[in-house]
Structure formats: C-alpha cells, structure tokens
Structure 1
Amino acid sequence: MSEAINKNSSTPLVLVGAGIAILAVGVGYLAFSGDEQEKPQPAPVVVETPKPTYTPPPVVQPAKPVAPIEPVAEVSPPDTADIPEPEPAKPPKPELPDLNMSDNLVQTDLSQVYSGTQASNLFVNQDLIRKFVVFVDNAANGDLMQSHAPVSAPSDNIKVVAGEDNTYTLDASSFKRYDPYVSLFSMISTDTLLDMMNKYQPLLDEAYQEIGYTDQGFVNKLIDAIDVALATPVIEKEIKLVAPSAMYKFADPELESLSGIQKLLIRMGPKNQLKVQARLEQIRSELIK
C-alpha cells in the first residue's frame, strides 16, 4: 500500500491548485457584477491562475522476468543400515622381549590373570613359551611328552583297585588329581586366553620355527592339536587297566590305541574331560574365524 501512495503523491497538489484558481475567479465575478446599470468598464483585472506544478511519477523499471523454479527432486536419506560402522582402532601390540628373556614377562602376566589363586604355581619356571610350543606340536602328532609340558605333573600317584588275573580298575578318586589343572584352564575366559595368544604370537611363531617349521604359523598346529583332543571319546563306565610292566595300560585295545593326549584326557575322568573339551571347542571356533 505505501508503494502505491508514493507513486501518486503529486495528484492531490494538482487538485488543490485548480480549486484555488476556480475560487478566485468566482469571488471576483460576484464582487464586480452586483449592478445592472452600465458603468464604465474598468480595466479588466487579470488574475493569473497559478500553474499547477506537475511532478512526473518516477520511472519504474520493469521487473526482470524470474526464471521458473525447478522442482527439487526429493533425495532419500542414505540407508544407515548399509553403511558399515568403522572398526575400532586396535591398540598396538606391546614390545616383547627376546624369546630367551621372555619368562619373566609371561610369569607376570600369568600371575595377574590368576591373581588370588594358587594356579600360577602349577606352571614351570623356565622356557614357558618354548615348552608350550613343543607340547602342542607333539600333541598334534599324537604324542605326549611330559618333559616339555608347560605345567608340572600331578604330585599324587594314580590310584587303582586290584582285581583278578593281574587286572586293575582305575579308581575314580584319581580323577581329582587333575582338578587343579582343569580349574586352571576353565577359570579364565576364552577372550583372555586369545588375548594372551595374540600378544605372544611373534614369540610363539619364533619358537615354532626353531623346531623346524617355517612354512606355517603356530596357530595352525594349535588347531590340529585341539582337533585331536576333541576326537577323544568320553568313557562313562569303569576303566580297566593292566600292568605288564612298571606302567599301567588300558585293558581295552581300542583305548590303548588312542594318542597320548587322548589317553591323558580319559585319565582325567569324564567330567573334567568334558570341561576341557568345551573350552577347546570355544577356542577353536575363535581361531578359525
């Protein structure tokens, strides 16, 4: 509205000027034409009508044509389900000592993992990594070498019940000899075990190469050893033994034909064996991912 008023602001001034001119002429006419008698005509008084001042309206430039607005195509938001989340940055592996100097660090880690227990006392004190690697290599090949075990042997002797014809039955109380070792293996999580494996992988591979393996990593041999252990049958019935020499053997030829690591699992008793195999199954599932 204010724009229309501004454009026509000169119009009222023109009308006022014209009105004043008409009013002046009318007054003069009434003042000098009152008598009908002729009188000498005075010189006409010329009343100049003021010329109206006219201000032309401002020139308005024609508006530039506005290009039509193209409709904006709707863009669907990205499907966040298809955008993979960035993987968290993995912390750098810690600096490891030389393989020959690694026992102190390994023992420190084991003491922290098994803090508050006596479990760490079951480990040997020298060449822990080398003995573990050699033990696993022999287990994968079906052998059991106690001299290369990373843990000490049970202090209690095997218990048997004597029968007829130089036969024996394995006393179930002998299974308890292995309870501390099964607790050692079961009390920490699979993630913790794998974290330690990952931490010491360079030293494990180095020890593995020392015994002649240069074409594959140690983890492959570990999986092979786990597969052998998982194939061990669970014996729920009484286990018969014979003693042809200073050592007991299984009376059942099928059991006696098993590998050394498998016979060790059977001597642990069915409950302990199942606990160990369950944990080994979890570890294997993570290693093959």
Structure 2
Amino acid sequence: MSLYCGTACRRKSFWCYRLLSTYVTKTRYLFELKEDDDACKKAQQTGAFYLFHNLAPLLQKSEHQYLLPQYSLVELEKLLGKLGQDTQRIEDSVLIGCSEQHEAWFALDLGLTNSSSMSASLQKPEMEAELRGSFIELRKALFRLNVKDASLLSTAQALLRWHDAHQFCSRSGQPTKKNVAGSKRVCPSNKIIYYPQMAPVVITLVSDGTRCLLARQSSFPKGMYSALAGFCDIGKFRACTDDTGRRKTTPIVVISCVAVIVLGVSSTFPPVMSRKCLWHYNFPIFYRQTFKHTA
C-alpha cells in the first residue's frame, strides 16, 4: 500500500512540475516576443490571427455552437488582397497569447483606422460574406464560447481598444508608434512609453442569507439582472477591504451592509484593463425591504 501511495505521489509531482514548467516556458516566450520586435515578426510567420471589426470578434456558427476561426499569415494576406487592402495592415495586429507549442496568437481589427495606416476601414457586410461568419458584440459572444476562447477575446478586445484610444502622445500631441507585439506605444519625439492601463472595479453580491440583491440598467435586455458593480474612485482603492465595496453599494441601492466576505479578484469579462474584485455582503434582517425599479 505504501509503495502504491509513493508511486501515486511521484506521478502527481511529475505532472505538477510539468504543468509549472509549461507555464514558465510560455510566459518567458511571450515576454521575449513583447521585448524583441524581430522575434515577434518571426512568430507571425507561423502564428494564428483572430479577426475583429470595430472591436466585435468574428464567429462562425456550426450547428448549435459558435466557433472562433483563426487564420494563418498566408490566409490573411490572401484575404486582404481580395478586399483590396495592403498587407501592411497586418502591422496593426497585437499579440494576445500563445499555445503550449509556442504558436503565437494575434488579433487584428479591420474595422478600425490607425493614424499610421493609409488603408480605410473595411465594410462589415463585405467581410462577413467573404469570411462566412458574423462579427458579434463581445458581451453577447462571451455566452456562446468556452472559457478559454472568451478569455482570449477579452484580452484581444481590451488591447485593440486601448491602441485605438491612445494613438497620440498626451504631452507632445504627436502620433505614437506601437511595438510589433502591441504591448506598448512610444512617442518618437520625446520617447515617452505608454503601457496598457488597468482600472480597479468592484463587484458586490449583497445577501440576507437566503436572497440576493440584484439590480439592472435600462439598457439591459428584458429580464436581465446583475450584481452591483462600479469603478473605484481615484486614491480610494484598497485591495481586499470591505470599505471599498460598501462605498459602491450604498449610493446605488441606498442600503448599509455588514459582514463582508472577500471572494476573489479578476475575471475574464471585458474589458480586461479593469481589475475586478469580488465581495459578498450580508444584509441584516432588520434592514429588509422591497425595492421597486421602474427601468
């Protein structure tokens, strides 16, 4: 029995070390691509590209599920040629990850215009017909994909959105230039480096022990409710403190909460430049009342 347990433990340790080793090598490889433009250009030759149009990812429907198509560099160059676009447009792509076999993954938005690109944005219907798919809003697409693909698209959209909104230097007003991987932008005139930003977000679940407090916005689809969430004020974010969540709960539904439980941080939901911290609050029984919402 002891021999069997020892063998099982060694096997478990082997797979743990292997998973850790795979994670480390992937992380180092991605770091190399972000820091070395030549290495990133070389990775594009054998990499895979995911397409977007105005921040909406391309999906293809197969029976009862949606697939996330990927294209090689050769296929992408042929597509751009058919649509009358210069292959220089590929320089607008951003690195979003890699496989365990070190196949680099990139995202490219053909609906956005870049300050350094001479090509106009492509029309959505024309692209959907050529690609035999649909560009679907990311928040809707997330519910039709697995966790891995949803996380990948969230990363891609956040980076593409950031690059679209930071094409000029805030100090000199000159156009900034991104590196090949898209992990930063540099102002040629003053050499200031801009990196993708994150903003802290609080998500709270208020409960009285048997029921949860949910709310909705007027823009939500009919019947959709969610937990309370909002951005943190500047200088007031303190990780893992109940005061942060209370400040976001009280103004929205005008209640006071006690007994906080920290559930965790971060999520795959877009945009990933938002750091999301989750809290669970206990709403005491003597504060219970019915809230009516007219939205």
Q: Tell me the TM-score normalised to structure 2 length.
A: 0.22
**Structure whose residues are more often helix by fraction:** 1
Q: TM-score, normalised by structure 1?
A: 0.22
